[in-house]
Amino acid sequence: MSSFAQTISRRLISQSLRLTTRTQVPVVNRASHIFYGRNFSSLPYHIVMGMPALSPTMEAGTISSWKVAEGEAFVAGDSLAEIETDKATIDFEAQDDGVIAKILVQAGSDEVKVGVPIVVTVEEEEDVAAFQDFVPPEAEAAVAEENPVAVAPVV
């Protein structure tokens, strides 16, 4: 087999292995803006969506308006929100069908960094009520850091 054929063969095998070993839960990194929920949670299956990077240089944005309200259903391709960046105002489109369970960042609030949770979606409309008091784990940790509990010394 020629070296060209060997290279092509190795690439195809490598791609095949990568495709067959992927899991359903994505690795969350700086560029990612979707967090799947259900792991060790009493809540129904949900997706916490972070502020998306709508351009390669976007680091933060402001939600100008929400196009879908809490409890409303949407389909793939619907505009969920209008997000204002330093350069333009862009529609944030849904990638899948779902229902808005909780809006975490209200329209017109301060700039939100890419990846920070902005909305929670669920698959079924009856699951919306379970998220009425939902607070993302990152926000709970931030509140705990701002309001530390004083511990009395043990004598």
* pLDDT 10s digits, 90-132: 999 999 999 999 999 999 988 999 989 999 999 999 999 999 8
Position 12 pLDDT exceeds 50: no
Q: Does the predicted TM-score (pTM) go above 0.75? A: no
| 66-95: pLDDT as tens digits | 999 999 999 999 999 999 988 889 999 999
Are the C-beta atoms of 14 and 20 separated by less than 8 Å?
no
Instruction: Indicate the average pLDDT of the chain.
Output: 74
